Structure 1
């Protein structure tokens, strides 16, 4: 048991070290004066409005979670308790990547008597749907900003020469794909009892069973509407904050959508609160949109820092409130 905790502690230190290194590498050339000037010149009415929208997003996420907790077990979860649990989860995620999902389930188990296993199942469904929404948003961003997408791809890959190479070697390419698919099938069949293969199979089975579970909810329509609304809120949070910063005030809605997609990808990286990865990807896409490197990096700092402050403040308040609540006790049978 001691070795397990040591290994987890080392993993946390490594992820934090990577995050800090990426952040330092990005901002080592940014003068503090430039950051202060950008903060002073920003329209904080827009930025504060974006924070109000993001808080609405946490409420919507809490409501969606309630819709998933479709059980007679324990005490019925109110929107207030679900919100506080979600904010505690976000707070813990700032310290330990992915641990917040377990933390928020543990909070409701203590206060409402619903089993951790059941609640973790609902979180897996949430994350599966969020992944589906992210992929859909990426496709939407591609359709809206197709030329920019292709331009970015051309910077990484010579599409024309790649296409010619594939066409001139089409039989080899088709044969290679067929061999690769057969190899994957063989590996999954031959090593189906291996730990990694089991985890992959279990992961995809959980996603499939989770999506099937949504159809059995008492309000599946509300669940899907809230899931879509969440991503609209994410976009509006980014869009409104872009108005508040002079360097990004003229970005189109399609360009902001691209920034949001890159930021979302950065946030799912296994580092504390997306530190470093969020900043790197958001700054990268802004530079491609014609924003200066300094302004792009400062924009990433402002939007990430304001969200972190909200999570820290609201998360601590939620933690204090939930810790004062008594633990749930099963009613005695009469």
Structure 2
């Protein structure tokens, strides 16, 4: 009974957290505006173009992942690696961060790749991605420092008066985001403490982490990394051209919102729902976009990008079973 309750809470908590933040942001919003924009003011050509880069970012991630597995003596099919990435992002919509584990399970089932070793390569990937986003953030912060400082002031991060701080609704949104991250870290630490008790598992994970040292084509690995983050950015930035109220925003504005949104999705909610909207809407308003228009942008773009994740997950599930049907029958 306790285990069932724990599992229910793991699934329900991110959804409740994201739902609460979305309710807080959109509690006074006129949703008829969404229909009006969708029917009359959305350039669907640009939206479709942006989705191409959303797909490519996952494809490049799958190719890069295969590179880190080869030093371990694992040679999974390229298609399986890409499908595993598609499926991992869809799985994370149900339970944030579980997708990272599920993709290792996919290769363990279809290509007999050691689950713990592949998990180590995922840790390595995330370390590389952390370095990338920190570099992007550093450059963007230097180029747009006044915008970031204004954002910190308006969201209660840098307010001298505690009375004003606690009266700001955005403070409570930020507080719930921080609490969500702390809960996620708690579960990660519990997992690590479990791994520490299983020496063989730890050694396999460590071998996977260190696989980056033996990647045969480092320039190609770096190229894939660059392309992944370029695609992430274009997947977001090109959506500016879908709406008349954002098409004037430049690349630097796109970088600021991209960085803010990237950090927001750390909060364990389905696809960053809630925290992502909060960050993008607040930063977009700093560039002169109205609250109503920024809210429309965030709701439509996040909704369509989430739908893409779901569609890719469904495709990957079907394709994995179809393309590997003979191998499963033989095994």
TM range (shorter): 0.7 to 0.9
* Shift, 1:73, TM fit: 4.5
Q: What CA distance in whole angstroms lies between the structure 2 residues aligned with 1:304 and 1:153? A: 23
Q: What CA distance in whole angstroms lies between the structure 2 residues aligned with 1:206 and 1:128? A: 17
Gap regions ≥5 residues in structure 1 = 160-194
Question: 2:184 maps to what in 1?
Answer: none
Matched, 1:82 2:84: no
Question: 2:5 maps to what in 1?
Answer: 6
* Shift, 1:211, TM fit: 7.1
The superposition leaves residues 42-84 of structure 1 with CA deviations (integer Å, 9 ceiling, x where unpaired) of 111111100011111111111111111124656x223211111
* Shift, 1:138, TM fit: 0.9
The superposition leaves residues 8-33 of structure 1 with CA deviations (integer Å, 9 ceiling, x where unpaired) of 32122122111111111111222221
Q: What CA distance in whole angstroms lies between the structure 1 residues aligned with 2:320 and 2:115? A: 16
1:292–1:219: structure 2 CA closer, same or farther, 3 Å change rule?
Answer: same
The answer to whether the 8 Å contact 1:266/1:281 transfers is: yes
The answer to whether the 8 Å contact 2:60/2:224 transfers is: yes
Gap regions ≥5 residues in structure 2 = 161-188, 197-202
* Shift, 1:252, TM fit: 1.3
Please give the secondary structure, in 2, of the residue aligned with 1:291.
coil
Question: 1:186 maps to what in 2?
Answer: none
Question: 2:30 maps to what in 1?
Answer: 31
* Count of aligned residue pairs for this structure pair: 294
Please give the secondary structure, in 1, of the residue aligned with 2:36.
helix
The answer to whether the 8 Å contact 1:22/1:277 transfers is: yes
| Superposition CA RMSD, Å | 3.0
* Shift, 1:207, TM fit: 11
1:293–1:281: structure 2 CA closer, same or farther, 3 Å change rule?
Answer: same
The answer to whether the 8 Å contact 1:145/1:254 transfers is: yes
Q: Using the TM superposition, name which of 225-234 and 274-283 deviates more.
A: 225-234
Question: 2:56 maps to what in 1?
Answer: 56
The answer to whether the 8 Å contact 1:57/1:230 transfers is: yes
Question: 1:228 maps to what in 2?
Answer: 226
Instruction: Name which of 289, 297, 300 aligns with 1:299.
Output: 297
* Shift, 1:277, TM fit: 1.1
The answer to whether the 8 Å contact 1:58/1:86 transfers is: yes
Please give the secondary structure, in 1, of the residue aligned with 2:263.
helix
The answer to whether the 8 Å contact 2:63/2:78 transfers is: yes
Q: Using the TM superposition, name which of 2-11 and 272-281 deviates more.
A: 2-11
The superposition leaves residues 165-188 of structure 1 with CA deviations (integer Å, 9 ceiling, x where unpaired) of xxxxxxxxxxxxxxxxxxxxxxxx
Instruction: Name which of 261, 264, 269 aligns with 1:263.
Output: 261
Please give the secondary structure, in 2, of the residue aligned with 1:70.
helix
Question: 2:177 maps to what in 1?
Answer: none
